[in-house]
């Protein structure tokens, strides 16, 4: 494949290419799924989305294709593209994988993380303590804590697996940190993980992370029961 020359790059006309628009639409729809503005079961109509996002239908169509490829959207007969609604079995399977992957990441990080990375995790946790009353900021810092820990494990395949899992988890909607009681528990759970990491105790780090994820799973199931955000049937039956 020929590599395009960069000697005379095209002038910036200030206009986005359709591909750029498609990526922007994808990112905006992804954010709406993350915040719960788009909920499981919501229809994605090209015309409505194009009007709302202020772009043509072509990049919207591409964004919907990307969401479908990511497992966040599916096409239903006589309905069209909709945000996926996970059934009980799928929710359980996702969290089972989180336990395995994040527990392994914590074990690896206890061995491989540099002192600088451990200090970064402590700083993120300290910032988290300052914003626990703000679910949006708390969610962002909680995610940063987990991403930083996964990166500290220094295993690119593990990181890629976690990235794919996190995208699917977006379907579940807003973070469990909207519950103030859950936020207080997260503080304690993160501190247990940090203590194990600083001791370079892989067994304890893995156990603390598993406890943390399983607590999040219980809160998520409670949240989904209250909001009706989970499909009661099983597609795997």
Q: Are the C-beta atoms of 222 and 178 separated by less than 8 Å?
A: no
User: Is pLDDT larger for residue 169 or for residue 197?
Assistant: 197
Q: Where does the pLDDT of residue 181 fall: very low under 50, low under 70, confident under 90, or very high at 90 and above?
A: confident
pLDDT mean over 68-81: 86
Q: What is the pLDDT of residue 2?
A: 44
Instruction: Check: CB of residue 58 under 8 Å from CB of residue 16.
Output: no
Which has more confidence, 235 or 58? 58
Res. 151 pLDDT band, cuts 50 70 90? very high
- What pLDDT shows up at residue 3? 42
The answer to which of 3-7, 75-79, 89-93, 210-214 has the lowest mean pLDDT is 3-7
pLDDT > 90 fraction of the chain, expressed in percent and rounded? 48
- In 3D space, the residue among 122, 98, 120, 111 whose CA is nearest the CA of residue 202 turns out to be 111
* DSSP symbols for the chain: -PPPP-SSPPP--S---HHHHHHHHHHHHHHHHHHTSS-TT-B--HHHHHHHHTS-HHHHHHHHHHHHHTTSEEEETTTEEEE---BHHHHHHHHHHHHHHHHHHHHHHHHH--HHHHHHHHHHHHHHHHTTT-HHHHHHHHHHHHHHHHHHT--HHHHHHHHHHHHHHGGG-S-GGGSHHHHHHHHHHHHHHHHHHHTT-HHHHHHHHHHHHHHHHHHHHHHHHHHT-SBSS-TT-
Q: How many CA atoms lie within 13 A of 63 on its CB side?
A: 29
Please state, in angstroms and rounded to a whole number, the distance separating the CA atoms of residues 20 and 16: 6
Taking the model in full, what pTM does it have?
A: 0.74
Query: Is pLDDT above 60 for 5?
Result: no
Res 1: pLDDT: 44
Q: Which of 236, 92, 87, 85 is nearest to 171 (CA)?
A: 85
Measured between alpha carbons, how far is 185 from 192 in angstroms, rounded to an integer?
Answer: 11
Question: How many other C-beta atoms lie within 10 A of the C-beta of residue 64?
Answer: 23
Report the alpha-carbon distance of residue 67 to residue 50 in Å, rounded. Answer: 16
pLDDT of the residue at 18: 44
User: CB burial class (10 A; 0-12, 13-18, 19+) of residue 76?
Assistant: exposed
Checking if the pLDDT of 158 tops 90, the result is: yes
């Amino acid at each position: 494949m020929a590599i395009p020359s960069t000697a005379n790059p095209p002038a910036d006309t200030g206009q986005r290419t359709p591909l750029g628009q498609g990526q922007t639409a994808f990112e905006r729809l992804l954010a709406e799924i993350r915040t719960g503005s788009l909920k499981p079961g919501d229809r994605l109509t090209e015309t409505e989305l194009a009007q709302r996002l202020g772009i043509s239908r072509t990049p919207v169509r591409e964004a919907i294709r990307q969401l479908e490829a990511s497992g966040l959207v599916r096409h239903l007969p006589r309905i069209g593209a909709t945000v996926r609604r996970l059934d009980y079995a799928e929710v359980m399977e996702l969290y089972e994988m989180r336990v395995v992957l994040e527990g392994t990441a914590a074990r690896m990080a206890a061995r491989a993380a540099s002192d600088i990375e451990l200090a970064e995790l402590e700083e993120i946790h300290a910032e988290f303590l300052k914003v626990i009353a703000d679910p949006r900021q708390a969610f962002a810092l909680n995610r940063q804590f987990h991403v930083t820990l996964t990166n500290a494990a220094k295993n690119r395949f593990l990181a890629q697996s976690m990235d794919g899992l996190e995208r699917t988890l977006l379907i579940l909607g807003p973070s469990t940190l909207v519950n103030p009681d859950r936020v207080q528990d997260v503080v304690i759970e993160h501190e247990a993980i940090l203590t194990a990491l600083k001791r370079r105790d892989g067994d304890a780090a893995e156990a603390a992370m598993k406890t943390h994820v399983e607590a999040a799973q219980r809160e998520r199931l409670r949240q989904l029961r209250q909001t009706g955000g989970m499909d009661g049937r099983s597609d795997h039956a």
